[in-house]
């Protein structure tokens, strides 16, 4: 039997994309910084029109944030994350949305399968029984449909492909030929990890979804775009030798 190689002292790079998240971004950063982990925090201000950029610069000056990327124009979540991934110096990378729908306190538990050497990537699933705020029925249906379609093409058995919490070994993530500019990022990462033969785990997480009045930005148009991205990224993978894990 092969014994997985343990990694007891992994450093986690937390990427925080933010567009007009002034009400929550500071609380998000401080909750991440309080985690009992070796941390690097990289925040991406996607040309916000509120005080998000100024708040992040202040937090950078205080040492709560390690790096701030200011996008000169609003390019989308995927574009900002691609820039931050290349900057990251940690052993593992995860995205933390600034709106605090996801709870940073759960990240240490999600890191464990990678720390034990049993996984290359760990997904935090909102649909495996963790506590969650009761909100939109059709959002749930849409997420499950997109996950099903993705699973059919990746041959995976994920329960929540669209989750924000995807912890991925940094050396593997940096090799993936990512192209997404906006919300296709979740679909593309999943397709590329499957194509690379990565070892994926899922663990349950809690979820505090927002209403549109509270600032939620995903719409039905993003769902339609996700269907296109699932077909595109799974059926037309790029060539090259990036598929080695």
CA 73, 168, 95, 33 torsion: positive or negative?
negative
pTM for the complete prediction?
0.90
Angstrom distances, CA of residue 238 to CA of 79, 115, 172, 203: 18, 30, 16, 30
Nearest to 27 by CA among 13, 40, 16: 16
pLDDT digits (tens, 9 = 90+) for 154-212: 999 999 999 999 999 999 999 999 998 877 899 999 999 999 999 999 999 998 864 54
Q: In the chain, where do the E strands start and end?
A: 11-18, 38-45, 67-70, 92-95, 121-125, 166-169, 200-204
So what's the pLDDT on residue 20? 96
What does the alpha-carbon distance between residue 204 and residue 230 come to, in Å, rounded to a whole number?
23
Question: Is residue 242 within 8 Å of residue 199, measured between CB atoms?
Answer: no
- Structure token digits, residue 123: 């997904």
- Structure token digits, residue 47: 């040309």
In the chain, pLDDT over 90 holds for what percent of residues? 74
Domains and CATH numbers, the chain: 11-235 (3.90.550.10)
What does the alpha-carbon distance between residue 24 and residue 6 come to, in Å, rounded to a whole number?
35
């Amino acid at each position: 039997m092969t014994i997985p190689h343990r990694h007891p002292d992994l450093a986690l790079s937390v990427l925080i994309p933010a567009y007009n998240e002034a009400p929550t971004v500071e609380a998000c950063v401080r909750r991440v910084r309080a985690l009992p982990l070796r941390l690097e925090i990289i925040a991406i201000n996607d040309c916000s029109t509120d005080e998000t950029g100024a708040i992040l610069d202040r937090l950078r000056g205080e040492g709560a944030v390690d790096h701030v990327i200011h996008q000169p124009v609003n390019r989308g979540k995927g574009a900002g994350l691609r820039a931050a991934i290349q900057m990251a110096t940690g052993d593992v990378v995860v995205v933390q949305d600034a709106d605090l729908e996801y709870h940073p306190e759960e990240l240490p538990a999600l890191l464990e399968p990678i720390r034990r050497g049993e996984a290359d990537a760990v997904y935090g699933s909102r649909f495996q029984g963790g506590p969650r705020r009761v909100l939109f029925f059709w959002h749930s249906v849409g997420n499950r449909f997109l996950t099903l379609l993705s699973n059919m093409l990746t041959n995976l058995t994920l329960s929540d492909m669209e989750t924000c919490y995807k912890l991925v070994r940094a050396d593997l993530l940096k090799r993936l030929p990512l192209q997404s500019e906006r919300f296709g990022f979740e679909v593309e990462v999943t397709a590329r990890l499957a194509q690379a033969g990565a070892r994926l785990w899922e663990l349950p997480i809690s979820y505090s979804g927002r209403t549109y009045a509270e600032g939620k930005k995903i719409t039905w148009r993003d769902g339609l775009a996700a269907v296109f991205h699932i077909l595109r990224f799974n059926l037309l993978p790029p060539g090259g030798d990036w598929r080695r894990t």
